[in-house]
Amino acid sequence: MRHDRWRQIDELFAAALERVDADERAAFLAEACAGDDALRREVEKMLGFDRQAEDFIETSLFGVAARLLTGQLDAAESPSVAADAVNIAAKKDASRRSPIHTTSGSIDDARFIPGDVLAERYRIGGLLGRGGMGEVYRADDLKLKQPVALKFLPDTLSSDGVALARFYQEVSVARQISHRHVCRVYDVGEFEGQPFISMEFVRGEELASLLKRINRLPHDKAVEVARQLCGGLAAIHDKGVLHRDLKPANIMLDERGDVRITDFGIAALTESLTGAREAAVGTPAYMSPEQLAGRELTVASDIYSLGLVLYEVFTGKRAFEAANVVDMLRLRRSDTEPTNPSKLITDLDPLVERVILRCLERDAGARPASALQVAAALPGGDPLAAALAAGETPSPEMVAAAPKQGSLRPPVALALLASVVVSVTIAVLLSGRVSLHRFVPLTKSPDDLKSRASEIAKRAGYDAPPLDTVHGFNAEYEYFEYVRKQDASPDRWEKLKTGQPAAITFWYRQSPRYLEAYDYWRIDPGNPPNDLSGMLLVKLDTTGRLTYFEAAPPQVDETVNTDANVNTNSTTNVNANANANSLANSNANANSNVNTNAKVDANSNADAKAAPDWSQLFREAGLDLANFRATESRWTPPHHADARAAWEGTYPGRPELPLKVEAAAYRGKPVYFELIGSWQRPNRQTPFEPSVAQKTFATLLLTLYFGALLLGALLAWRNLQLGRGDRRGAFRLALFTFALRMLHWIFFAHHIPAEGEVAQVIAGLESAVYWASFMGMMYLALEPFLRRRWPEWIISWSRLLAGDFRDPLVGRDVLIGATFGLGVVVVNHAMVLVPPMFGRNPLSITTNSNLLYEHGLLGLSNFIPLLMNQTAASIMFPFIIVCVLLFFTMLLRRKRLGLAASWLLFYLAINLNFGDASLPSMLLGALLPTILLGVLTRFGLLALIATHFFTHILPFYPVTTDFSAWHATNYLLQLFVMAVLLLYAFHTSLAGQPLFRGRFLED
Amino acid sequence: MTTVSPQEITGLLADWGRGDREAFDKLTPLVYAELRRIARRQMSRERDGHTLQATALVNEAFIRLSGQDNNFNWQDRAHFYAVCAQVMRHILIDHARAHARDKRGGGAIQVSLNEAAALAGGRASEFLALDEALRALELFDQQKGRIVELRYFAGLGIEETAEVLKISPTTVRREWRRAKAWLYRALAEGGGDETRPLATN
């Protein structure tokens, strides 16, 4: 043949190959070879050879060559190796077909013969079978002296680098699956360029052949096989592997009759490599609709195949039956539904039929979410108990799928709901006798107080309109403690009702610039510092009386001439003025008529260097200057001042409470005015001298914090390495925490239209990311231990985390948590009220959480941050309890001892905070840790979270019986949230049972 | 055995890359010796789950012969693979020839005693036929020949072959498919037929 002729044929051959469609190809050839029939025949011949040569020389000879290199292959010796060499190269189909061909035929044509040793390690025992995948040999591992199965893969795999890499990846994951109902994959190897998998050799029988032999399994055995199948499949899914080809031929029953799932994950890979040509006969019978349609496969696809297998196991008949593959495909595409199993087997357990039909839902979303749910739905199934009994750590899905139904009987649910209502009522009624904010007259709303504060500022001479203002409330803990320790009178708390001295103060800041908190977004009276000229801080008691005033004077004194001489003069003037002032004071002492004097002072001073009219500020503070005696000023003002003054007296109507008033002015405008009770410490000058207890506490706290971080990180990492950590759960928890914190930031931060907002956004994100990572990490670290030891505690939690809000167990635990949470509130109130009844202690009250003052009193805009705070804390707190319990249990090796130690620790922690050492208070104090640990051990984590949440419904909010009060908004909103949660929990926990059965009517 | 410096090998590869046939002839025994040495050592080494892997073998040989690590660009590595492929091809053909000779000559009795060996002998001749067909194909289309050499004799994947030959993987795939069809045809239509297209004139 001539060269150009050859070239012509080859080019047309190439062009024809491009055209896949037969008609198109024929048309193309007819046109291209017009008139040259010989040419056309040649090309058609080549196309024929192309079809035949598909597997031809696809396996490289390199391996053989390598062995030749070593001299181990000698021409004259070792016939079997010589046979090998050509076997690999030319797997000849019996006699007729092409010489160098890899398509395999009968069993006699096996690639290896018994006795062959591969890779110096595996001695071939015989060919076990041959499927769409490739050949499977039984072999002996000569090194480890145990039987293995070697599965060779289609030759095409070895020549495709990408597919090979994917194959190794798949096997590396499959290797991690260790489950007694899954066939172990050991390793991959390569023999003469042929990749193979070594895996556990299971002595037994394929489910397919067993079913062929005995038709269907006896019911009990079928349930057992089904459960084992579910367990094995769940273990496979747990590692993120899909089986993709679950069918009776891939399920072995070993010598003991236990299920072993084989061939997971690899089926689809080889299929994609070899194309539809190799698709094994019979497989479409077990494919899910989405698999048939070529759509993406999910866990639900395996569940469908599982349903088909179960169908066959229980009924002995295939769900879809057809004579050949083509008919099968036609049948499957026709949307025919399988006959209901109960039509085939009349005495079939309806539970079984229901679960099979659920698996066979065409809509993947309607099928059971996991193999474990299938197991749980089978008669008498509890995979969680089975896993624990087998000493395995159950997976999060397994925990969530535990068959703990947990719906409440209507009378119980109603009783719980009623007890919540009773507890709330008691708590609200009692709060009037125990909560600080119920004693303080909350007569003025924050808006009223704010406008009053700005009025005071204007009247004091600061009338420039501010650019930015912020306000809030604070509890005066120093005064509170003073009363608690110093005042033993029975009506000591009643005295708070005058509002003076202030137990709760309102603060108001205004600034000529935007207020940007330093390092955090929380603006408070000291952050940012009041150091910019024109900044003002005003504090009022809750009825609007001034308790504190502070204004930053201008940086440059505009009233003074810049002339040096005048400057000196002015200094002298100031001195003179100071002298005049003290003189005035001594005058005041003598005449007790400071009022006039001060006024004269202010008026007579042309350059306004004299003191302002202090009586004005006294009036703002609800005091009468006439009742005060001037004294030497000892408290230095926070800002520069050219005049200072101080007075002594008592609080109006409280002669036993000494009151000192310190004031300072600059250029005739007050820069400082403060009411100082005897409890007040000069905090600016108090050196940092922590007591031994404080030092110990700080050290302990830091050690615990850093220890927890480090240990948490290590444990989380280790759990991830071992594949134990619940990644999905941790991620969801972290995401939820992030959302909570971001919402808190959005609603709580003081947002400003300036570039400082960027820094605030970053600070908000930092905080949210920190908490999210912290929670996620701690969850990864802690949860696996909890899941291993006490999985029954996290069943409802796992379901909630998986998004199953309608689960009756979730509802039950929330309802129970609410009951106990509000019980805790009542106990807390009782701890305040009961001990004084026994006469040992004077009546005490509680100050509530700081959050009440930070958010609770500030109206609607602060409701969301408060709720977010409450939720985040409620999630975190139970984990701390769990952490402590786990720690002690591991340390003491016994759950009981761990519980006892934790109880003791919580008891001490709670009682050091609240308790006075009397028997009633000790008994009441003992109730709290008992409730918390009891709820955890009896009802689990979610119930404990709910307990914490409901415990903090009242202390964070200004509880009141006056629903029309300005501060009732947040409290009412919270009651609404609580009611919604309770109704949801109540409704869910009933799981659709009717509340009233109408028995009364029947009787 | 003469020892060769890595620089020398690099130099030879470079020369060969420029089309110096002599450089290749010098390279072949060096590569052969090295491959043999490494393969021997690997076969004798007892290691858990170890198998003799062609790619590993060539890679190790390459690293040894080229001196150090992977400072070599693809040009060198590609050439090296090509050398390996040709070396392998020579070894195999020589082996098959020796086998075929044995069958005709002194080894006949031994072979007739063993059916498997007889089968192998028969295949050795088919193998020689393949080599012959490949030679014929190379005359018509050198690129197809080299693709077969790299894929079949050196065990390179599609991607690697593409890199060695500096053509696209798609081209390799297409050419490989047609090369197989041509070779298959040459073998299927048997020897001696005047009409077979690959016969040289």
H helix intervals, A497-631? 564-591, 594-604, 614-620
Among B44, B72, B100, the domain boundary falls at B72
Catalytic residue among A245, A601, A613, A813: A245
Q: Check if A245 is active-site.
A: yes
Q: What pLDDT does A30 receive?
A: 83
**Between the ranges A46-60, A783-797, A870-884, where is the mean pLDDT highest?**
A870-884
Q: What pLDDT does A491 receive?
A: 81
Hey, are the CB atoms on A49 and B198 less than 8 Å from each other? no
| Across A15-19, A20-24, B137-141, least confident range | A20-24
Cα separation of A167 and A266, whole Å?
Answer: 7
Residues B105, B187, single domain; the answer is yes
A948 — pLDDT class (breaks 50, 70, 90): very high
Q: Residue A981: pLDDT above 90? A: yes
Residues B196, B125, single domain; the answer is yes
Q: Residue B188: pLDDT above 80? A: no
H helix intervals, A686-802? 692-721, 727-748, 756-789, 795-801
Q: How far is A22 from chain B (nearest CA, A)?
A: 18
Residues in B closer than 8 angstroms to A46, CB to CB, are: 178, 181-182, 185
User: For A241-250, how does the pLDDT look when each residue is reduced to its tens digit (9 = 90+)?
Assistant: 888 788 888 8
Q: Residue A170: pLDDT above 80? A: no
Q: What pLDDT does B92 receive?
A: 65
Q: What pLDDT does B37 receive?
A: 67
Q: What pLDDT does A603 receive?
A: 40
User: For A771-801, how does the pLDDT look when each residue is reduced to its tens digit (9 = 90+)?
Assistant: 999 999 999 999 998 888 888 888 889 888 8
Q: What pLDDT does A699 receive?
A: 93
Q: Which residue of chain A comes nearest to B107, CA vs CA?
A: A76
User: For A432-480, how does the pLDDT look when each residue is reduced to its tens digit (9 = 90+)?
Assistant: 888 888 888 888 999 999 999 999 999 999 988 999 999 999 888 889 8
Hey, are the CB atoms on B197 and A90 less than 8 Å from each other? no
Q: Residue A1003: pLDDT above 70? A: no
Question: Shortest CA distance to A753 belongs to which of A450, A515, A466?
Answer: A515
Cα separation of A995 and A986, whole Å?
Answer: 11
Q: What pLDDT does A147 receive?
A: 84
Residues in B closer than 8 angstroms to A67, CB to CB, are: 39, 43, 52
Q: Which residue has the higher pLDDT, B149 or B77?
A: B149
Q: Residue A653: pLDDT above 60? A: yes
User: For A245-276, how does the pLDDT look when each residue is reduced to its tens digit (9 = 90+)?
Assistant: 888 888 888 877 888 888 776 655 544 444 43
Q: What pLDDT does A406 receive?
A: 66
User: For A824-836, how does the pLDDT look when each residue is reduced to its tens digit (9 = 90+)?
Assistant: 999 888 888 887 7
Q: Residue A72: pLDDT above 70? A: no
Q: What pLDDT does A590 receive?
A: 40
Q: Residue A277: pLDDT above 50? A: no
Q: Nearest 5°: phi and psi at A445?
A: -75, 160
Superfamily of domain A205-381: Transferase(Phosphotransferase) domain 1 (1.10.510.10)
Residue type, B73: N
Among B72, B95, B119, the domain boundary falls at B72
Q: Mean pLDDT over residues A97-114, rounded? A: 42
Residues B132, B183, single domain; the answer is yes
Which residue range is the domain that position B3 belongs to? Answer: 1-72
Residues B19, B36, single domain; the answer is yes
Residues 299-338 (A) with a CB less than 8 A from some CB of B: none
Q: Mean pLDDT over residues A507-519, rounded? A: 89
Q: Residue A496: pLDDT above 50? A: yes
Q: What pLDDT does A637 receive?
A: 93
Q: How far is B10 from chain A (nearest CA, A)?
A: 23
A426 — pLDDT class (breaks 50, 70, 90): very high
Q: What pLDDT does A970 receive?
A: 85
A601 — pLDDT class (breaks 50, 70, 90): very low
Residues B81, B20, single domain; the answer is no
For the domain spanning A92-201, the CATH number is 3.30.200.20
Q: Which residue has the higher pLDDT, A274 or B26?
A: B26
Residues B31, B91, single domain; the answer is no
Residue B47 sits at the vertex; the CA angle it makes with B46 and B52, to the nearest 5 degrees, is: 85
Q: What pLDDT does B23 receive?
A: 74
- In the sheet with A204-206, reading across from the earlier edge strand, the strands are A204-206, A251-254, A259-261
Look up the ipTM and state it.
0.70
Q: What pLDDT does B60 receive?
A: 61
Q: Which residue of chain A comes nearest to B184, CA vs CA?
A: A53
Residues in A closer than 8 angstroms to B130, CB to CB, are: 57, 99-100
Using a CB–CB cutoff of 8 Å, tell me whether A14 touches chain B. Answer: yes
A813 — pLDDT class (breaks 50, 70, 90): very high
Q: Mean pLDDT over residues B159-177, rounded? A: 86
Using a CB–CB cutoff of 8 Å, tell me whether A67 touches chain B. Answer: yes
Q: Which residue has the higher pLDDT, A625 or A63?
A: A625
DSSP A957: S
Q: Which of A80, A86, A159 sits opposite B157 (nearest CB)?
A: A159
**% of chain A exceeding 70 in pLDDT:** 80
Q: Residue A911: pLDDT above 60? A: yes
Q: Residue A81: pLDDT above 50? A: no
Residue type, A372: L
User: For A204-246, how does the pLDDT look when each residue is reduced to its tens digit (9 = 90+)?
Assistant: 778 888 888 777 788 888 888 888 899 899 888 887 788 878 8
Average pLDDT, chain A: 79
Q: Mean pLDDT over residues A688-702, rounded? A: 88
Q: What pLDDT does A807 receive?
A: 83
Q: Which residues pair with A188 in a beta bridge?
A: A197
Residues B116, B194, single domain; the answer is yes
Q: Which of B107, B151, B187 sits opposite A76 (nearest CB)?
A: B107
Residue to substitute from B48, B144, B187, interface A, most A β-carbons within 10 A: B187
User: For A924-934, how does the pLDDT look when each residue is reduced to its tens digit (9 = 90+)?
Assistant: 888 989 999 99
Q: Residue A645: pLDDT above 50? A: yes
Q: Residue A321: pLDDT above 70? A: yes
**% of chain A exceeding 90 in pLDDT:** 26
Residues B102, B198, single domain; the answer is yes
Among B72, B94, B127, the domain boundary falls at B72
Q: Nearest 5°: phi and psi at A341?
A: -55, -35
Residues 208-267 (A) with a CB less than 8 A from some CB of B: none
Q: What pLDDT does A309 receive?
A: 92
All residues at 6 or more sequence positions from A595 whose CB lies less than 8 Å from its CB, including other chains? A615, A625, A626
Hey, are the CB atoms on A191 and B51 less than 8 Å from each other? yes
Q: What pLDDT does A105 receive?
A: 33
Q: Mean pLDDT over residues B101-127, rounded? A: 40
Q: How far is A197 from chain B (nearest CA, A)?
A: 12
Q: Which residue has the higher pLDDT, A269 or B48?
A: A269
A650 — pLDDT class (breaks 50, 70, 90): very high
Residue to substitute from A55, A59, A100, interface B, most B β-carbons within 10 A: A100
Q: Mean pLDDT over residues A906-929, rounded? A: 76
Question: A598 near A613, Cβ under 8 Å?
Answer: yes
Q: Which residue has the higher pLDDT, A586 or A98?
A: A586
Residues B93, B61, single domain; the answer is no
Cα separation of A623 and A657, whole Å?
Answer: 14
Inter-CA distances, A96 with A52, A93, B188, B190, Å = 13, 7, 10, 13
Question: DSSP string spanning B105-131?
Answer: TTTHHHHHH-HHHHHHHHHHHHHHHHH
Q: Mean pLDDT over residues A717-734, rounded? A: 90
Cis before residue A637, ω within 30 degrees of 0? no
Q: Which residue has the higher pLDDT, A583 or B85?
A: B85
Residue to substitute from A60, A171, A273, interface B, most B β-carbons within 10 A: A60
Q: Residue A519: pLDDT above 60? A: yes
**Between the ranges A382-396, A956-970, A972-986, B136-150, where is the mean pLDDT highest?**
A972-986
Extract the tokens encoding A679.
């409890």
Residues B128, B174, single domain; the answer is yes
Cα separation of A791 and A398, whole Å?
Answer: 9
A733 — pLDDT class (breaks 50, 70, 90): very high
Element holding A419 (H helix, E strand): helix A410-434
Q: Per the structure, how many domains does chain B have?
A: 2
Q: Mean pLDDT over residues B97-120, rounded? A: 40
Residues in A closer than 8 angstroms to B81, CB to CB, are: none
Residues in A closer than 8 angstroms to B156, CB to CB, are: 60
Residues B104, B173, single domain; the answer is yes
Residues B139, B187, single domain; the answer is yes
The conformational region for residue A893 under phi > 0 = left, psi -120 to 50 = alpha, else beta, is left
